[in-house]
Every structure is written in structure tokens, then in C-alpha cells.
Amino acid sequence: MIYHVEQILSRVYGQYKNSNKLNLWLSINGEIANELQTAIDKVITSYDIDSNSGNQLDIIGKLVGIGREVIGDVQFPPEEFGDDTVEFGDESAQFSALSVAENDELSDEYYRVLIRAKIVKNNSDSTIDSIILGAEFILPNGSPIIVNDAEDMSFSIDIFGSVSEVERQILSSVDVVPRPQGVQFSGYRVMSDLSPVSEFGDQTAEFGNTSAEFGS
């Protein structure tokens, strides 16, 4: 909110309209308030995950407890290596693929999704409603989202909105969806990806009971 000094002065009682000291004091308050509002707006904006990038996004990540660095195994498959039928020296020694740990940094696009997921895990109580709200926060365009309880200590989610390619990759490879301890997240379905097997109104299509047919 911007405080307009002229508007403030227009509300001064008529008997004080010509009081220079009062008008000056009120003007100073308005100017200070505007300066404070500008600073407050900058602080609020500095924690906006979507509008920040680079170093500012790193600060947000540190606040919620997740870094940008990711370590993965990189394999080098030279010829013959990995063939478990080939041996040398001791008969129990076999060739295996050479691998090293590679240290890399996530791009802002990936990092934003992981920051959202970390915030959710820091605050979720892992109830079904909380899982839905958390998934909708992680996937801003994914709503509506429903939870499918398999009743075998596992669950999946159905996403009826849109999911970006980056979000798909993270959902498939990283444990980001909040879940109760000991309960397995078995995966997700983007409902827009599913092709209808039939159309309603087709009187030749049947399912289950042979006397039951689709109808419009």
C-alpha cells in the first residue's frame, strides 16, 4: 500500500488545516511509511520461488534446507567391461564397469521444484488432505489432484492438471511427494495422457456385466 501524503493531509480537521507543524509531522509519517513499504515489498519478493533465480534462489534453498548440488554416478562402459563371463587372475574376480561420482548443480527450473517439495515435507502432517495440498504446491498447474489409497500401505496420485517435463522427471526419480512413515508412494498418473478406450453413447461397448452398456 502506498500512503499518499496529500490524501493524509486532506483528512486533517478544519481547525488544524493551517497548522504547519501538524501538517509537517503527518507528511513525515507518510514518507517514512512509504519507505518502509518499499523495503517490506522487497523482502516479500525476495522469498518468491518463481520470480527469483541464481544466487537469490540459493538463499531460499538454504533457508528451507536443500542445496543445489546433486551427486550422481557416471559409468564408463569400456569394451568387454561389464561382461560377467570374462575373468582374469583369481577366478572369483570379474570385470565390472568403471564408475565415478560426479558433482553437478541443478538448473533453476529443477531447483524450484525441489525447493517446493522441501517446504512441503518440512510442514506436512502426511494426512490425505495434506498430501493433496502438498502435491498441488509442488505442481502449481497440476490441480485438481486426488490420492488413491491402495489399502496396502501404498498410495498413488492422479493429476488432472498439466505437468511440465521437468516436474515429470522429478516425480519419477526423486522422493518429493509427502507420505507417512512406512507408506510407499507407488507413482502418479497424468490423466490428460490417458486415451479413452471408448466413447459414451456407443451402444456396442460393454464392460463388466454383459447387460450393462455405456449410455450418454
204 within domain boundaries: no
Digitized pLDDT (tens) for each residue of the chain, 216 residues in all = 555 677 777 777 777 778 888 878 777 777 787 788 888 888 888 889 988 889 999 999 999 999 887 644 444 454 444 455 555 555 555 555 554 444 457 889 999 999 999 999 999 998 999 999 999 999 999 999 999 999 999 999 999 999 999 999 999 888 899 898 899 999 999 998 876 544 555 555 555 555 444 444
18 within domain boundaries: yes
- Say what the pTM is: 0.61
pLDDT at site 113: 93
**CA-to-CA distance for 111 and 184, rounded, in angstroms?**
24
pLDDT at site 36: 85
Q: Are residues 189 and 130 in the same domain?
A: yes
183 strand-pairing partners: none
198 within domain boundaries: no
pLDDT at site 153: 94
- Closest by alpha carbon to 40, among 71, 72, 2, 8? 2
**CA-to-CA distance for 20 and 23, rounded, in angstroms?**
5
20 within domain boundaries: yes
Q: Are residues 176 and 135 in the same domain?
A: yes
pLDDT at site 186: 92
159 within domain boundaries: yes
Angle, vertex CA 114, rays to CA 101 and CA 99, nearest 5 = 10
Query: How many Cα atoms sit within 13 Å of 152 on the Cβ side?
Result: 3
201 within domain boundaries: no
- Give me the long-range contacts of 97-103 (CB less than 8 A, separation at least 24): 99/73, 99/74, 99/75, 100/73, 100/74, 100/76, 101/71, 101/72, 101/73, 101/74, 102/71, 102/72, 102/73, 102/74, 103/69, 103/70, 103/71
Name the H helices within the chain. 5-9, 20-46, 54-64, 108-123, 128-138, 165-173
What is the count of structural domains for the chain? 3
SS3 139: coil
93 within domain boundaries: yes
Q: Are residues 101 and 129 in the same domain?
A: no
119 within domain boundaries: no
Q: Which residue segment(s) compose the domain that 187 sits in?
A: 124-193
